Structure 1
């Protein structure tokens, strides 16, 4: 991961209202791909994905409240997240982009494509729904993050507490080094507030999206088969791909299958997507 970090140019985009968005640009002359992580994640989760797309110029984004972006923004509405991504695209890409997002990042991508279809050529959504959270699940998630015994003394201590799974390993690797130890790059209360916004149904936006979209689901993800089928059915120009043996974080625990699906769609001739 460190070699990927070193090869990407980091920069911030000022989106107004005292909020800055951190981005990592792979550079190059290939078609631009903007990648959006999920709740409590960061752009770093997708550096390996970026490295696996050498034909493209990838821009991995730390969403507001996450990573190197403004940690405690006043506005955590879905509209604010969408406006951030629109600003990033307008300031960094000279043409429309392919949007890739996982979980909350995919939900954001969906809303960007609905609001500004002129900025999006195609879209890949990993483990996304149009109303994918509820208050009980949100509070449970918040309590989990609040329970972390931070600061951790070192990454070994963080791994011992969090576990050795792919997502937990990513969390431990992404901890921020401060004078008193290692801290997560997000605040639990900000995560709860952001996730509560995702719980609001967004079917009208999804049904308005016309850009070619690939929806990828994991067989051990968070959605039921009925929820997956309804989301795909109510889309306008949608293909579906299922990943066997994968979790909600398939970009981490089913990486080869994820990359195969992603690359196949991104490299498909535009004339074959309609």
Structure 2
């Protein structure tokens, strides 16, 4: 889980990444809107949200309003790191979504 990303150093446990590099790499997400890009997505989409997400409910609702064909789900008992907290549920959800696409388009899939 998340603790695997820590290392013991003088004074306690620290993230394995450089804080300044992480802050710079995430800065664009905090300053920029991605609504234009969201509107340009043309492929089938599965929106997976954590039960305790940092994405406000009104933003998720707007995503679905703008692209009503988007499939959405919330994974119970999860926060931002839902892929670490409930990997089996996420894996099953993505597989089911992809299998549904294969059936809907009569594609040959795994």
TM-score class, shorter: 0.7 to 0.9
- The structure whose RCO (Cα within 8 Å, separation 6+) is larger is 2
Q: What is aligned with 2:4?
A: 170
Work out whether residues 210 and 236 of structure 1, in 8 Å CA contact, stay in contact via their aligned partners in 2: no
- Measured against aligned partners, the alpha-carbon deviations of 1:82-137 in whole angstroms (never above 9, x if no partner) come to xxxxxxxxxxxxxxxxxxxxxxxxxxxxxxxxxxxxxxxxxxxxxxxxxxxxxxxx
Q: Distance in 1 between matches of 2:70 and 2:53?
A: 19
Distance 2:14 2:77 in 1: 31
Listed as ranges, the gaps of 5+ residues in structure 1 are 1-165, 176-181
Q: Superposed, which structure 2 residues align to 1:136-151 within 5 Å?
A: none
> Partner residue of 2:20?
189
1:265 aligns with one of 97, 100, 103: 97
* CA-CA distance at 1:251 after TM superposition: 0.9
Matched, 1:238 2:70: yes
Q: Which has the higher helix share?
A: 2
1:208, 1:236 within 8 Å by CA — same for their partners in 2?
no
Matched, 1:252 2:84: yes
Quote the residue 1:216 is aligned against.
48
User: Do the aligned partners of residues 269 and 211 (structure 1) sit closer, same or farther apart at CA in structure 2, a change above 3 Å counting?
Assistant: closer
Aligned partners of 2:40, 2:98: CA distance in 1, in Å?
A: 21
Using the size of structure 2 for normalisation, the TM-score is 0.75
Give the match for residue 10 of structure 2.
none
Select the residue among 227, 246, 254 that pairs with 2:59: 227
SS at match of 1:241: strand
Q: Please give the alpha-carbon distance, in whole angstroms, between the structure 1 residues aligned to 2:4 and 2:62.
A: 31
Distance 1:262 1:215 in 2: 10
* Structure 2: gaps (5+ residues): 8-12, 106-110
1:75-224 to structure 2, matched below 5 A, reads 166-167=1-2, 169-172=3-6, 184-199=15-30, 200-224=32-56
Query: Once the 2 structures are TM-superposed, how far is the Cα of residue 184 of structure 1 from its aligned partner?
Result: 4.5
Q: What is the CA RMSD across the aligned residues, in angstroms?
A: 2.3
Partner Cα separation in structure 1 for residue 101 and residue 34 of structure 2: 29
